[in-house]
Amino acid sequence: MPTEADLVWQYQHIRVFYRPELDGRGSALAASFVDFVRRACDRTYSSAFEWCAGPAFIGFALLAQGLCDRLVVSDINPAAIACVRRTIAANRLEHRVRCYVGDNIAPLPQTARFDLVVGNPPSYFGLNPRHSRYRMYRDDLRPNDPQWRVHQGFYSAIRPHLTADAVLHISEVDPHCTEVFIPRSETEPYDIRPRPPLHEFREMVERAGLHYEGITPYFTGADGAELYIMTSTNPP
């Protein structure tokens, strides 16, 4: 049973354990994300990987929806992976789900291979010190990716873990914008980027030897943030 500090998010038959401080918007967007994957795919994936998983809302929803046979998740935060382990045990998913804790994708076994990769990674390059929420989030792992180091580490290392037909669907916030205003009525930008992130991420994809397929809007946050899924593939 959950403790007083735990919450439970349910998607179909799977109960996902989490704590509010570990939820990087995943509980709100997971259903929309999975709907996108369902519409975009013409198969059931053999092995899915959720990058920067937190409590793995997206990954467990994919599993519940029958879009993947097996799931691997990783996150840098041990508390998030502790929640994942509780979810695995509570739903008796030990034979279908593995989880790892560590920086970026470093904890993955060298032999791990995936035909689907999903993620809702940190999406903000440089939080604005003048913004009213700066002190609240400046040290929070969930929103912050200074200099896009997390993205760079991911794209530079993921290809050896991909099957020849692998698909990557990664959630990004306002990828066309150099300034992100949250809420939209705010006069000070929340995040300031030197270039539209889409340009940066496409370059990372291409340097990795992957093929950029496009971006699709799929979710609008309560704060007005526009989220897109950026899709890339591993060419044969």
**What distance in Å separates the CA atoms of residue 221 and residue 226, rounded to the nearest whole number?**
7
**What distance in Å separates the CA atoms of residue 118 and residue 66, rounded to the nearest whole number?**
15
User: Is 1 contained in some domain?
Assistant: no
Contacts of 140 (CB under 8 A, 6+ apart): none
Closest C-alpha among 157, 158, 147 to residue 124: 147
Per the structure, the count of domains in the chain is 1
Mean pLDDT, range 158-178, rounded to an integer: 98
User: Is 118 contained in some domain?
Assistant: yes
Mean pLDDT, range 196-209, rounded to an integer: 98
User: Is 125 contained in some domain?
Assistant: yes
Structural domain range at position 132: 7-233
User: Is 169 contained in some domain?
Assistant: yes
Q: Which class for 164: exposed (0-12), middle (13-18), buried (19 or more C-beta within 10 A)?
A: exposed
Residues shown for the chain: 236
pLDDT tier, 236 (very low <50, low <70, confident <90, very high otherwise): confident
User: Is 2 contained in some domain?
Assistant: no
Q: Half-sphere exposure of 63 toward its Cβ, with a 13 Å CA cutoff?
A: 29
**What distance in Å separates the CA atoms of residue 108 and residue 105, rounded to the nearest whole number?**
6
Q: What is the pLDDT of residues 60-104, one digit of tens each?
A: 999 999 999 999 999 999 999 999 999 999 999 999 999 999 999
Taking CA atoms, 141 is separated from 153, 180, 185, 189, in Å, by 15, 18, 25, 19
User: Which CATH number is 145's domain given?
Assistant: 3.40.50.150
